[in-house]
A and B are shown apart, each in its own frame.
Chain A
Amino acid sequence: MSARATIAVWAGKFTTKLLRLAGSGGTSLPGKVVLKICPDILGHLAKDVKIICVTGTNGKTTTCHIIRDMIEAEGKTVFCNDAGANLLGGVVSAFVGAATLGGKINTDYALLECDEAALKSIVEHFGNLDVTAVVTNVFRDQLDRYGEVLTTVNKIRAGLSQLPNVKLVLNADCSLTSSLSDLSHSEIHYFGVDGPLYEGTSSDISDAVYCIHCKTKYQYHYHTFGHLGGFYCEKCGYHRQEPEVALTKVIEWKDASSVVEMDVFGQKVEAEVMLPGGYNLYNALAATEVAHLLGLPNEQIVKVLGGLTTHFGRMEQVMLNNAPLHLVLVKNPAGFNEVLQFLIQQRPTGNIVFGLNDNYADGKDISWIYDVEFERLTQAASGAKHFYFTGKRAYDMQLRLKYADFDTTKFSVEKDYKTLITQLQQSGQETFLVLSYTCMLEFRDKLAEFVPLKKYDAS
C-alpha cells in the first residue's frame, strides 16, 4: 500500500483514539481526516475484503443486522459501519478501524450501510472488486433533502454504475428499485412477497403511480403496502420480476415476530422471523437472499431468522417502574403506517406518546405526517388512557391527531422530556412511544438518567 495511504490509516486511527479519550462518540471525523490525506483510500483498503453494500430508503440498518448475523453464523468475520454513519466519512472510518497499522484488513466481509445519495462517493473506488449491493426499496423520505423520489433512484443508479461486476439484490415489488435492473452489466437477483400481506391494505401512498418508463398508470395484481406489490404496466410491459427469494405465505402474525413460508431458490422453507411487522419481512427476505448467495444453507438461515433479538427491530422495550415502555422509531410515512398497523393490533389501553422533531435528520418539512394514516388508528386507540405529544413540533403532531378525530380530552403536550418521563412513571401504564429520529435520540438520553439503557442501535 502506498505511503500516503498508510499515513492516512495511521492518522485515522490516531483521531479515533483521541475521540475516544475525549469521550466523544463521533464516528465520521476519523474518516474525514483520512480522506483529506488520501481521497482514494477505499480503493487501497477494500482490496482485501468481499463487500456488501445495503442502500435504499427503509430497512437498511435492520437488513444489515440480519446479514451480519447470517455471515457470523457461517463462521466468517465481518465489520460494519456504525448505524447513522452511512455517508462516505462513516464508511471510511469503519474501514480504517478494521485495518491493521500496515493497512491490511483481515476480515472476510465489509458490510456497509450506504446512504442513497452518498452511494456513489462510497463505491466509486471499489471498481472491479467483489461487491454485492442490496437495494431495499425506494420511498419518499426526507423530501426536502433529495427533492424527489426519482432523484433517489437516480442517485442509487449513479452509484451502482460505478461497479461493473456488482451482484445486485433488488426488491422485486418496488417498481422504482426494479428499474435499476437495466444496469445490464450486473448479475441481478430479486426478493419479494408473492401476494397481499394484509386484508384491506391501503395503497394511498403514491410514490410511484406512473410507469417509470412510459408514464402510464401502473396496474396491480395485489398490493403489500405503499406502492409495493405485483405491479405491471399495460402499455410498455414493465412488470414485477419473479423473485428467487419470495414470501409465499404468512402462517401467523405474532406481536414480535411472524411465522412465514418462503421459497428460497426453489426450496420451500418455513421460518419464524423474530421481528415485528410486514416491513421487517422484506428486510428478512433481502438478508436471506444475500445469505443464500454467500452459500449459507437454508437450515442456518432459518436458525438466524429465529434468533434475531428485538433490540434491533424498531422496537425497544424498557421497564419504567414495572410499566413497559415500547420505543418505536419512525422516519417516513411508509414506516409510520407500518407502526400504526402494529398499534392497531395491540389495541393499546395505556399511554401513547408521539414525538416529532424537524431537525435535518428528521426532515425539516413535517407535512409528511399528513401522509400517515392516523385515521386508521382512531378506533383501535379509543381505549388508550392518554396521548402525549413531544418534540419540537409537538403542537403540529397534536393538531394532526385532532384532525384524525382522536379524543382531544386525552391530549397533552409536554416538550420537556424529564417531565414527560416523570408523568409516564407516575401513570404506571404501559406506554408506546413513537418518535422521529432525533427525538428518539434526545428522549433516550434523558431516559438513561432514569433507567439503564443499551447503547442505541438506530434501526
Chain B
Amino acid sequence: MDRELHICHLYYDILNLYGDNGNIRTLEKRLAWRGIGSKVTQLSFGEVNRDEDYDIIFIGGGQDFEQEILVKDLFDHKEQWLKEEIEKGTVILGICGGYQMLGKYYEAADGTRVDFLGGIDVYTTASDKRMIGNFAYEYTKENGETFPIVGFENHNGQTWLGDGVKPMGKIIKGYGNNGEDGTEGARYKNVFATYSHGPLLPKNARIADELLEIAYERKYGEQLPPLEHEMEDAALNDIRQQLGC
C-alpha cells in the first residue's frame, strides 16, 4: 500500500525568502515518519499541467521586485487553475507574499492598485507601519479545540478580510493582518493563509498536522495516523516562554 500526497511548491524559485522551504520539508517529513510518501513538484512560470492532481499547494513569500514579474504569469497561466483548486477544497498554504497574492489586490500609498488572483476575499493596503517581530495567534479547529501558533511576521502591507473569509487566528501577541482588528491570516475552505514566517510549520506541529489531516482524508477517506511532536512542542514552548505568552 504505497500512499503518497502530492505537494505543489508554486513559484518555488521566486517566492522562497525567509526559509519557507522549511514548510515543505516539514510536510514531507511528517508524512515520511508516518510511512506515507510525498512527491513535491516545483512550479514556476508557464502553463500548469492540468492532469496533475495536487493534494497541497504551497506559496511562500518573496521580495517586491519579484512580485511584479509574478503577477503577469499569475494571470496568463495560473488564474483559472488556482481558483478552481481553491473552490474545490484543495489544501493551500500561502505565506506572506503568497497570502497577499491569493487576495483581490494590493493598493499602494498613492492609491494605485495591483490586481492579484482574487481567489479569496481579502485585500492589502500599503502602510508605513513596519509590522515585524515574533508574534503569536490562537487557531481554532472545526471541533472548537484551540492551540497557539508562534511565528515571525515581517510586512508593512495591511490585509483586510472580507465577509466571505474567516481569520486564521486571533492575535495573542504582535500585529497580524493589520495591527488593528486583532485578526491574523485568512481561512477560506481549505485555504490557510498567514503572515507567519518562522518558518510556520516546523515548530507548529499541530497546524502542520491539521493541513496533512485534511489533505489525507480528502484523498484516502481515512484519518491520518497520529505522530508525536515532542521536540516541536519543546521549541514552541520555549519561544512562548520568551514571548511571555
Contacts and interface: CB of A to CB of B under 8 A. Distances in A.
Interface of A: 140, 143-144, 148-150, 206, 209-210, 215, 217, 364-371, 392-396, 398-400, 402-403, 405, 408, 413
A364 B134 CA distance: 8
24 contacts: A148-B65, A150-B63, A206-B13, A209-B13, A209-B14, A210-B14, A215-B69, A364-B132, A364-B133, A365-B18, A367-B19, A367-B20, A370-B19, A370-B22, A370-B25, A371-B21, A393-B239, A395-B239, A398-B231, A399-B234, A403-B26, A403-B29, A403-B202, A405-B29
A150 B19 contact: no
Contacts of B64: 148
B66 interface: yes
Contacts of A365: 18, 152, 154, 197
Contacts of A140: 17
A368 B18 contact: yes
Given A143-B18, A143-B154, A206-B14, 13 more contacts: A144-B154, A150-B65, A206-B13, A209-B66, A210-B69, A215-B65, A215-B69, A364-B133, A370-B199, A392-B242, A395-B234, A396-B238, A399-B235
Contacts of B232: 399
Contacts of B242: 392
Nearest to B134: A364
A171 B203 CA distance: 38
A215 B71 CA distance: 13
B187 to A, nearest CB: 23
Contact of B202 (A148, A206, A209, A400): A400
A215 B202 CA distance: 32
Interface centre among A366, A367, A369, A402, by most chain B C-beta atoms within 10 angstroms, is A367
B10 to A, nearest CB: 15
Given A148-B63, A364-B133, A399 B202 contact: yes
Interface in B12-67: 13-14, 16-22, 25-26, 29, 63-66
B174 interface: no
Given A143-B154, A367-B197, A400-B202, A395 B235 contact: yes
B198 interface: yes
Nearest to A206: B13
Contacts of B234: 395, 398-399, 413
Contact of B152 (A149, A367, A371, A394): A367
Interface in B148-170: 152, 154
A331 B136 CA distance: 26
Contacts of A408: 231
A140 B13 CA distance: 15
Contacts of A371: 19, 21
Of all A-B residue pairs in the complex, the 4 with the closest CB atoms, nearest first, are A370-B22, A370-B19, A367-B19, A395-B235
B194 to A, nearest CB: 14
B16 A206 contact: yes
Contacts of B17: 140, 143
Nearest to B63: A148
A370 B202 contact: yes
Contact of B22 (A144, A206, A395, A403): A403
A324 B133 CA distance: 38
Interface in B193-224: 197-199, 202-203
Contacts of B29: 403, 405
Nearest to A373: B21
Nearest to B152: A365
Given A144-B132, A370-B19, A149 B63 contact: yes
B12 to A, nearest CB: 9
A367 B65 contact: no
A434 B240 CA distance: 25
Nearest to B25: A403
A365 B21 CA distance: 15
A367 B199 contact: yes
B235 A398 contact: yes
Interface string B179-191: 0000000000000
B128 to A, nearest CB: 13
A205 to B, nearest CB: 9
A102 to B, nearest CB: 45
A371 B23 CA distance: 11
A275 to B, nearest CB: 28
A410 to B, nearest CB: 13
Nearest to B130: A147
A247 to B, nearest CB: 28
Contacts of A393: 239
Contacts of A368: 18-19
A96 to B, nearest CB: 34
Nearest to A401: B231
Interface string B124-146: 00000000111000000000000
Contacts of A403: 22, 25-26, 29, 202
Interface centre among A149, A370, A395, by most chain B C-beta atoms within 10 angstroms, is A370
A148 to B, nearest CB: 4
A370 B64 CA distance: 21
Contacts of B203: 395-396, 399
Interface centre among B20, B26, B234, by most chain A C-beta atoms within 10 angstroms, is B234
A368 B26 CA distance: 15
A252 B25 CA distance: 35
A20 B131 CA distance: 39
Contacts of B199: 367, 370
Contacts of B14: 206, 209-210
A143 B203 CA distance: 21
A369 to B, nearest CB: 7
Contacts of B133: 364
